[in-house]
Chains A and B, each alone.
Chain A
Amino acid sequence: MALLSVEHLTVSYGAIRAVRDLSLSVEAGEIVAVLGANGAGKSSTLNAIMGLLPASEGSVRLDGREIHGTPPERVVRLGMTLTPEGRHVFPRLTVEENLVLGAIPLRDRSRAQALRRRIFERFPVLAERRGQQAGTLSGGEQQQLAIARSLMSGPRLLLLDEPSLGLAPRYVDLIFDLILDLREEGTTILLVEQNVERTLSIADRGYVLVTGQLQLSGPAAELQASSGIERAYLGIGVA
């Protein structure tokens, strides 16, 4: 049984259909990519899966259990979380306070302590700046904090929305290495990215959206070889 299975998902904003009849699945241990040009409906898909968008139709199952319509504060307790596009750290809370909030879904205090230690080892810059307001961090540091905050809930499935967007090259490397490490440690990843080549080089499988509809899907290697990807990004070019 798939860890996450989405069927016939449709997302609307008033009269605008952002996603139409999308089906996708993620197996435990995979890195699955969702690709597409700006406005293709990638963020809408992730937000709807998390329960952040009330106006969506279709089925979303986690471990076979229907969670469509479940509010996000309950979904995170089931072991799935989202690092939203644009980072959205709480700018006027300290780094440490941001991390404390990330651990709210965990009931087990000693697990939260262990995760916190692990996160400070993994992200030394966050340990260094733990007392600093998150809004004063650089973009790359804020992205690390946003991911670290998601990891504090100990997710089995992590949804990442454009984690490398707008980052300096060294941070982009750091983020892609981190994603591989996380998978190594057993976290399943559903990754939305604009950096197509890089993403397909670490992903197992991918789905390509064009204006809210599934255009292509398959193993990453096949997508890399296909010309459909280029057509999907027509007008924007392939990174």
Chain B
Amino acid sequence: MDLFVQQLVNAISLGGVYALLALGLAMVFSIMGLVNFAHGEIMTLGGYAMWFVTVQFGAPLPVVVAASVLTGLVAALLMERIAFRPVRGASVVTMLLTSFAVSVMLQVTFQNVISPRPKGVQLPPEMSRVIPVLGVEIGVIQLTAIVMVLVSLGLIMLFLRRTTLGISMRAAAQDFSVARLMGIHADAVVATAFAISGLLAGVAAFLWVAQRGSVDPGMGLTPIIKAFIASVMGGLGSLPGAVVGGFVLGFVEIMLQAWLPQAALPFKDAASLAIVIAILLWRPQGLLGRAADRV
């Protein structure tokens, strides 16, 4: 029983990170039809910001979090302005190739300017402690992840439901040209979508790096592929779908990790993809996707 609760905590904290990344991808996709493969590099940049402030200044934890989140925000806004605004409204393929190019360029830059090798990020030792919660031993990192994920998702939901800008974002995702007739500025909603995706990637970067203790040029690749799988599984372009997809994927991975026999562990990712494919065969539009439209 305890073991199950512990695995559940792991599943929620890992799935939560996928959910944050998948939500960022879905947000941008629903507004401008772009699948941003350079989203992973936003996360990597957040990780390098954490490394920089800890190594250079020995910054305290809140500053490390802020560095990661703000770097994500600024990186996403710059990416939109420099790389994606010129191809806005272009074909899906053009935008996809642009995002691949941005991703590769950033990775090469990290390799040459920083280092091809991982940089260690030392967080305060309390982060790696284990504390008892309701009789179960739970890692501080997992607990932090769950709290940060839930707070982030809650704030995004309030923003989308309660503010005029948030409602505008949902409207623009449904019908961009009619949204403009309402006086909604195209540049503003696109920039907001990127800003949110950058903030979420910054939070995800903090949680990811806190878990593994280092950052390297290719760090963003694995999580972004997982997030992409999660958002397709949830229904590409559906925001709640992306969140649900992220948690489901985290759950599947952790449960396979825990219960697959030792000999089968190398095939863990293959097994989890097989489960995703089975879900998509059962519901081709994704868990929360709509058959005929995008959001």
Contacts and interface: CB of A to CB of B under 8 A. Distances in A.
Given A90-B170, A93-B167, A104 B178 contact: no
Contacts of B186: 71, 73
Interface in B166-187: 167-168, 170-171, 174-175, 177-186
A71 B184 CA distance: 11
Given A101-B184, A104-B183, A93 B178 contact: no
Interface of B: 164, 167-168, 170-171, 174-175, 177-186, 295
Contacts of B170: 90, 92-93, 97
Interface in A122-171: 149, 153
B167 A100 contact: yes
Interface string A73-96: 100110001101000101111000
A93 B171 contact: yes
A101 B182 contact: yes
Given A84-B178, A91-B174, A73 B167 contact: no
With most chain B CB atoms within 10 A of its CB, the pick from A81, A90, A102, A105 is A90
Nearest to A105: B183
Dominant SS at the B interface? helix
Nearest to A84: B178
B167 A71 contact: no
A72 B180 contact: yes
Given A73-B185, A92-B174, A93-B174, A101 B180 contact: no
13 contacts: A50-B181, A72-B180, A72-B181, A76-B183, A88-B178, A91-B174, A92-B170, A93-B167, A93-B170, A102-B182, A104-B168, A104-B184, A105-B182
Interface string A94-123: 000100111011000000000000000000
B64 to A, nearest CB: 38
Interface residues of A, number: 23
Nearest to A101: B182
A100 B162 CA distance: 11
A53 to B, nearest CB: 10
6 smallest CB-CB distances across A and B, nearest first, come from A105-B183, A104-B183, A101-B182, A76-B183, A72-B180, A88-B178
